[in-house]
Amino acid sequence: MPIAITQEHNDLADSVKSLVARVAPSEVLHEALETPIPNPPPYWKAAAEQGLHGLHLAESVDGQGFGLLELAIVIAEFGYGAAPGPFVTSAIASALISAHDPDARLLGKLASGELIATCALESGLTATRQDDSLVIRGEARSVPAAAQAAVLVLPVAIESGVEWVILDADQLEIEPVKSVDLLRPVAHVRANAAEVSADRVLSNLSQAAGRAILTTLLSAEAVGIARWATDTAAAYAKIREQFGRPIGQFQAIKHKCAEMIATTERATAAVWDAARALDEAAEKGWENEQTAYEFATAVAASLAPAAAQHTAQDCIQVHGGIGFTWEHDTNVYYRRTLGMVAAFGRASEYQQKVFDTATSMGMRAINIDLDPETEKLRDEIRAEVAALKAIPREERKTAIAEGGWVQPHLPKPWGRDAKPIEQIIIAQEFTAGQVKRPQMGIAAWLIPSIVAFGNEEQKQRFLPPTFRGEMIWCQLFSEPGAGSDLASLTTKATKVDGGWRITGQKIWTTGAQYAQWGALLARTNPSAPKHAGITYFLLDMKAEGVEVKPLRELTGHAMFNTVFIDDVFVPDELVLGDVDRGWEVSRNTLTAERVSIGSSEPGFLANLDGFVQFVSDGHFDQIGHHRAGELIAEGHAAKLLNLRSTLLTLAGGDAMPSAAISKLLSMRTGQGYAEFAVSSFGVDGAIGDSAELQGKWAEYLLGSRSTTIYGGTSEVQLNIIAERLLGLPRDP
């Protein structure tokens, strides 16, 4: 997915992608490897006519008046196309100048494309004051596109600190050097007593804000590269055949491609949020929003360059020998990646910044800002929530259930037929009003199936007490020989007068020892194909022949159970949906389950806030800071994936990519929190007493091993991601 979510942003991304594909196709890129492209590049005028140079600049300087989020969307598409030349660095330089003064005269020439600019994150330049000017000396090494630019925006050390300064190229000695990225070569820049006027100092732009803008926009280019690498690897895996079938059908390739899209999506979410944070800072004041934008941009810089490099390398690997040739596009993109990653400087700085910001000032809040037009609806819901709060506690539970508040997305009368925006407002107002809704547990995943496939009698019998929290459910799907491969289940249901006799064994059944009812899958037609011949039953857990044996887990607790079903009679009225069509019903249930699991951190395990608190209270070396910062960045980005999933739903888009990837990544990161904590205890990592800090984290670590298994193992999730999101061929 691109950075864009809204239709307007998607239209912008599509138009830029089309332009880049037209003006910088593969053959142009390869020609530029052998012969330097003209300066400005041939596409420069077309980009100017489309308003791309000034997209983010004020209308007073002939820009289009958009923000850094829109510029990030544009830069990502230039990254996707590996466009040669200085467009990206010039756009970033103009963004730095604009953050200082949106009406700066120089911006008009940059908006029109008349001038080309560049910038760099680091330099060895220093300045001394002389009357009303600065005298600058020193060297800035490996500045991208320096030989193509007329104007350079570079950090300069002055007595008062580091300032961003505009330098004219004709004041400097610029030495082009052989570059890894032949399409955007670097040059060393030297100043020998170059004199610049004081108005060339971007005094309204702090060093922190400038670094945040520069790294975020470079990160946007990085996710564009990562998306190209992922798309290209997947496309090749679909058509390249080895051993008589497409290589994308081999799980090793399938999983590699799935990891690529997961890494890319996480980085994309981080860049999207960082650009939003910068736009908010520009609107509300850079000083007021410094904590939020510094954290968000450090998260993006921690994840995006690494995503670009890893996916570019994996793209070469998927292509095999052809990917290692000069003629293949992977050559162009990997070189661009290496040059771009180098522009960030030392990667560990960003993980350290994430760590420092999170532990000292806090993380950026993740909120859903809704359109002001929804305030009337919010007022109505707030009033209804207040009325519910005024009802006595026991009556309130019934009123909440009967009002459709428990799962408001369901059709009336079971829900409120609430659209996504209304669902969000309901959740926010119940939280703000401190009104608790009954907890559904496993039932939250099963209710949609009863609503969709149940008859009226079943709905009336089961839904009201479930919504009141009085009826506890369990899910009887997995078997000893049919876990992730659910269609291989062998529990057998035989038709008898008035119902069915069912025999089999279920395992990993959460909460079965407390449940009154269970959702049971059993095979009713053994001669039917694998996914057919399965029926969905509602099982009375107190029925004769049902035996529940708690399954003591690695943690020592018993959250899961084995359930033995020995010739249990289930009447016909407890068949949900049609006989032999249970797979269709179960797919409805499993969809609800996967979205639910992927959308939150399990309450019984380590979470991001708890991990930040842990590392805030501890003492760690530099390596520990680096790893902790990495985990915090990953955890925050997983939450951003959930936010994007919600916003995509609001925009009418497909939330499946973010939801599936969030489940995969958030569970891994949760394991990482516990692994980090326990390893930091040294010999005390052997303490298992939950009353001790070490024992608490040991329990988290032990329990975390289940998270990449339940709800679909990570390996199955990778198959799903590769097949459904990348279109790779299914396993035979």
More confident residue, 432 or 76: 76
**Cα atoms in the Cβ-side hemisphere of radius 13 Å centred on 472:** 10
Q: pLDDT class for 184, splitting at 50, 70, 90? A: very high
pLDDT attached to residue 651: 72
Between CA 626 and CA 632 the distance in angstroms is 10
Helices of type H across 433-566: 443-453, 456-467
Percentage of the chain modeled with pLDDT above 70: 97
Contact 624, 675 (CB under 8 A): no
The pLDDT tens digits of the residues spanning 549-559 come to 999 988 888 98
E strand or H helix at 314: helix 290-319
- Write out pLDDT tens, residues 618-649: 999 999 999 999 999 999 999 999 888 878 77
Count CA within 13 A, CB hemisphere, residue 662. Answer: 26
What does the pLDDT look like over 400-451, one tens digit per residue?
A: 999 999 999 898 999 998 887 888 889 889 988 999 999 888 898 899 999 9
Q: What are 227's two structure tokens?
A: 């998306």
CA dihedral for 140, 144, 146, 149, sign (positive or negative): negative
Residue 571's H or E segment, with its range, is strand 560-571
The H-or-E segment that residue 560 falls in is: strand 560-571
Collect all residues with Cβ–Cβ distance below 8 Å to 637 and sequence separation of at least 6.
266, 267, 269, 270, 299, 303, 665
Most distant CA atoms of the chain, gap in Å: 103
> What distance in Å separates the CA atoms of residue 485 and residue 56, rounded to the nearest whole number?
50
User: Which three-class secondary structure state does DSSP give residue 188?
Assistant: strand
- Give the DSSP letter string of 313-358: HHHHHHHGGGGGSTTSHHHHHHHHHHHHHHHT--THHHHHHHHHHH
The span from the CA of 636 to the CA of 269, in Å, is 10
CB of 644 closer than 8 Å to CB of 269: yes
Mean pLDDT of 305-326: 97
Dump pLDDT digits (tens) for 368-406.
777 788 889 999 999 999 999 999 988 999 999 999 999
Checking if the pLDDT of 260 tops 60, the result is yes
For residues 627 and 634, give the distance between their C-alpha atoms in angstroms, rounded to a whole number. 11
Q: What is the pLDDT of residue 596?
A: 37
Instruction: Name the fold adopted by 7-118.
Output: Butyryl-Coa Dehydrogenase, subunit A; domain 1 (1.10.540)
Helix (H/G/I), strand (E/B), else coil: 580: coil
Please give the structure tokens belonging to residue 322: 């052809």
What Rg value do the Cα atoms of the chain yield, rounded? 29
| CATH fold of 466-591 | Butyryl-CoA Dehydrogenase, subunit A; domain 2 (2.40.110)
| Residue 597 clears pLDDT 60, i.e. is over it | no
Task: Kindly state the helix (H) or strand (E) to which residue 380 belongs, with its residue range.
Answer: helix 375-389
Q: Can you say how many angstroms the Cα of residue 296 is from the centroid of all Cα atoms in its chain? A: 13
Quick check: 163 and 136 in contact, CB under 8 A? no
Partners of 682 in the beta sheet? none
Mean pLDDT lowest among 73-82, 299-308, 635-644: 635-644
Q: Percent of the chain scored above 90 by pLDDT?
A: 77
Query: Which residues are CB-neighbours of 271 under 8 A, at least 6 positions away?
Result: 3, 72, 76, 216, 219, 220, 222, 223, 300, 304
The dihedral sign for the CA sequence 709, 424, 358, 275:
positive
Asked if CATH classification 1.20.120.160 holds for the domain at 122-200, the reply, yes or no, is no
Q: H or E stretch including 474?
A: strand 473-476
Rounded to 10 degrees, the C-alpha dihedral 378/383/386/388 comes to -100
- Mean pLDDT over 345-362 rounds to 93
The answer to whether 404 and 413 have CB atoms below 8 angstroms apart is: yes
pLDDT in tens, 656-711: 666 678 888 989 999 999 999 999 999 999 998 888 999 999 999 998 898 888 77
pLDDT by residue (tens digit) across 264-288?
999 999 999 999 999 999 999 999 8
Pick from 73, 33, 71: nearest CA to 55 = 71
Q: Are the C-beta atoms of residues 26 and 290 closer than 8 Å to each other?
A: no
Q: How many CB atoms lie within 10 A of CB 27?
A: 8
pLDDT at residue 2, rounded to an integer: 87
For the chain, give percent helix, strand, coil, nearest 5: 55, 15, 30
pLDDT on residue 370: 77
Residue 690, class by beta-carbon neighbours within 10 Å (0-12 exposed, 13-18 middle, 19+ buried)?
middle
E strand segments, 52-209: 117-119, 125-130, 133-144, 151-158, 161-168, 173-176, 186-197
User: What is the per-residue pLDDT for 424?
Assistant: 85
Q: Tell me, which fold does domain 597-621+637-725 have in CATH?
A: Butyryl-CoA Dehydrogenase, subunit A; domain 3 (1.20.140)
The tokens of 127 are what? 């300045």
Strands 473-476 and 499-506: unpaired
Residue 455 has pLDDT above 70, yes or no: yes
Of 108, 316, 130, nearest in space to 230 by CA: 316
Each domain of the chain, given as residue ranges in start order, spans 7-118, 122-200, 466-591, 597-621+637-725
CA distance 330 to 324: 8
Are the C-beta atoms of residues 505 and 531 closer than 8 Å to each other? Answer: no
Confidence (pLDDT) at 593: 43
**Residue count (the chain):** 732
**Given this model, what pLDDT does residue 356 score?**
96
Mean pLDDT, the chain, whole residue set = 92
What are the CA-CA distances from residue 53 to residues 17, 144, 183 (Å)?
Answer: 15, 18, 19
The residues pairing with 125 across neighbouring beta strands, listed in sequence order, are: 156
The one-character DSSP state at 723 is I
pLDDT of residue 598: 39
Pair type for strands 473-476 and 517-523: parallel
Q: Distance between CA atoms of 594 and 711, rounded to whole angstroms?
A: 6
Closest residue by Cα to residue 666 from 592, 607, 590, 593: 607
Closest CA to 142 of 301, 344, 330: 344
The two domains 7-118 and 466-591 share their CATH topology (first three levels equal): no
